[in-house]
C-alpha cells in the first residue's frame, strides 16, 4: 500500500502524520507500506521509518546523478537521505510537466540500477478510454518502460507498476474492481510476453485512482491486483492506516 501525498504537507504535518500512522499499522506485517512524500519532508519521513518496515519514497527524481540540472534531485541524493522508493511517470507529471515515455524509461533504468524501487505509473485518459483506445495506450506505456533496461537481468522485485486510469485520479470516479482486474491482468500477460513468465508472476502491480477505505477491500480482492497507490485518501493518517489494515485483512 502506497501513500502518495502529492504536493501536500509541511514538515511538522509530516511528523505528526507519521507519529500517528506507525502505531496504527504495526500489526499489518503482511503488507509492504510506502509513503511518498514531497522532497522537503522526505528526510523527516525517512528518519521516522528507519527502524520500521515502512519505506520512505520520493514522487520524482532525475536520471542523471549530478551536474547542471537546476531544480532536480538525483538517485544518490535520495539514497543519501534514506529514501528507498520513487514514483515514476505519474500522470500528473506526464500531463503537467511534460514527462515523456522516454524520460520514464530512463528514470526507471536509473532507479533499478540504484536499487531505488520504482513505482512506474501507466494509465489512459477518459478520451482514450471512450475512444476504445485504453489498451493501446496502456500497453504502449508498459512496453516503453523497458527501453533502457536489460530484459535478461531484470527480476520481479526490481520494480512495481501502478495502473492509474487518469479519469479515476482525484475524481471519486473509481474504476470498477472488474475493470481494474481486466487491465492489470492484461498487463501481466503482456509482461510475460515481454520479459518472461517468472517476472510476470512476481512483479507487483498496484491500482490507483480514488481508492478509499470503503472500496479498497473489493479492489485488492481481485486476482491480479497486488496493492494500491492512494492519493487523496492517504492524506489522513487514520484513513491510510484503515486501508493498510484493510489490505492486511485481504491478504489474510
Cβ atoms of 241 and 234 closer than 8 Å: no
Residue appearing with cell numbers 491500482: 207
Instruction: List, as own/partner pairs, every contact residues 66-73 make where C-beta atoms lie below 8 angstroms and the sequence separation is at least 24, other chains included.
Output: 73/39
Window contacting ligand PGA (CB under 6 A); options: 10-18, 101-109, 133-141, 163-171: 163-171
- Report which secondary-structure segment, H or E, holds 80: helix 75-80
Tell me how far, at minimum, the Cβ of 143 lies from ligand PGA, in Å.
22
Is residue 209 a contact residue for ligand PGA (CB under 6 A)? yes
Exposed (0-12), middle (13-18) or buried (19+): which is 161, by Cβ within 10 Å? buried
Between residue 11 and residue 40, which ones bind ligand PGA under the rule CB under 6 A? none
90 classed as catalytic: yes
| Residue 174 or 200 with smaller CB distance to ligand PGA | 174
| Residue 28 or 229 with smaller CB distance to ligand PGA | 229
Window contacting ligand PGA (CB under 6 A); options: 12-20, 105-113, 189-197, 230-238: 230-238
Using the rule CB under 6 A, which residue among 229, 237, 243, 244 binds ligand PGA?
Answer: 229
Tell me how far, at minimum, the Cβ of 92 lies from ligand PGA, in Å.
7
| Residue 93 or 195 with smaller CB distance to ligand PGA | 93
Given 92, 124, 128, 164, the catalytic residue: 164
User: Which grid cell sits at 61?
Assistant: 527524481
Q: Taking each helix axis from N to C terminus, what angle separates 11-24 and 39-49, rounded to the nearest 10 degrees?
A: 30
Per-position x/- string for 54-83, each x denoting binding to ligand PGA as judged by CB under 6 A, each - no binding: ------------------------------
Pairing outcome for strands 204-208 and 227-230: parallel
| Position of minimal CB gap to ligand PGA | 231
User: Which grid cell sits at 246?
Assistant: 484493510
Is residue 164 a contact residue for ligand PGA (CB under 6 A)? yes
Is residue 227 a contact residue for ligand PGA (CB under 6 A)? no
Is residue 231 a contact residue for ligand PGA (CB under 6 A)? yes
Question: Residue count at the site for ligand PGA (CB under 6 A)?
Answer: 13
State how far the alpha carbon of 212 is from the alpha carbons of 43, 86, 121, 239, in Å. 27, 22, 19, 8
Is residue 4 a contact residue for ligand PGA (CB under 6 A)? yes
Using the rule CB under 6 A, which residue among 18, 112, 114, 211 binds ligand PGA?
Answer: 211
Q: In the 3-class helix/strand/coil scheme, how is 3-49 assigned residue by residue? A: EECCCCCCHHHHHHHHHHHHHHCCCCCCCCCEEECCHHHHHHHHHHH
Kindly give, in sequence order, each residue whose CB lies less than 8 Å from that of residue 197, ignoring residues fewer than 6 positions away. Answer: none
Task: Name the nearest CA neighbour of 216 among 205, 228, 206, 226.
Answer: 228
Tell me how far, at minimum, the Cβ of 168 lies from ligand PGA, in Å.
6
**Which residues carry out catalysis?**
90, 164
Residues lying near ligand PGA in the complex (CB under 6 A): 4, 164, 169-170, 208-211, 229-233
Amino acid at each position: 500500500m502506497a501513500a502518495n501525498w502529492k504536493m501536500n504537507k509541511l514538515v511538522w504535518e509530516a511528523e505528526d502524520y507519521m507519529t500517528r500512522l506507525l502505531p496504527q499499522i504495526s500489526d499489518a506485517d503482511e503488507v509492504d507500506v510506502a509513503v511518498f512524500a514531497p522532497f522537503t519532508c522526505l528526510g523527516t519521513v525517512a528518519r521516522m521509518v528507519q527502524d520500521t518496515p515502512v519505506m520512505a519514497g520520493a514522487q520524482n527524481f532525475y536520471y542523471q546523478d549530478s551536474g547542471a540540472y537546476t531544480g532536480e534531485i538525483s538517485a544518490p541524493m535520495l539514497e543519501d537521505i534514506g529514501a528507498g522508493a520513487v514514483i515514476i511517470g505519474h500522470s500528473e507529471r506526464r500531463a503537467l510537466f511534460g514527462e515523456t515515455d522516454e524520460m520514464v524509461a530512463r528514470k526507471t533504468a536509473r532507479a533499478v540500477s540504484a536499487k531505488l524501487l520504482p513505482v512506474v505509473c501507466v494509465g489512459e485518459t477518459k478520451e482514450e478510454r471512450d475512444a476504445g483506445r485504453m489498451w493501446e495506450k496502456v500497453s504502449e506505456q508498459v512496453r516503453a518502460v523497458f527501453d533502457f533496461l536489460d530484459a535478461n537481468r531484470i527480476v520481479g522485485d526490481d520494480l512495481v507498476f501502478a495502473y492509474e486510469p487518469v479519469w479515476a485520479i482525484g475524481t471519486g470516479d473509481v474504476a470498477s474492481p472488474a475493470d481494474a482486474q481486466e487491465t492489470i491482468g492484461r498487463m501481466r500477460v503482456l509482461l510475460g510476453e515481454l520479459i518472461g513468465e517468472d517476472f510476470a508472476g512476481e512483479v507487483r502491480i498496484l491500482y490507483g485512482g480514488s481508492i478509499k477505505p470503503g472500496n479498497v477491500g473489493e479492489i485488492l480482492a481481485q486476482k491480479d491486483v497486488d496493492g494500491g497507490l492512494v492519493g487523496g485518501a492517504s492524506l489522513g493518517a487514520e484513513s491510510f492506516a484503515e486501508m493498510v489494515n484493510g489490505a492486511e485483512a485481504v491478504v489474510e
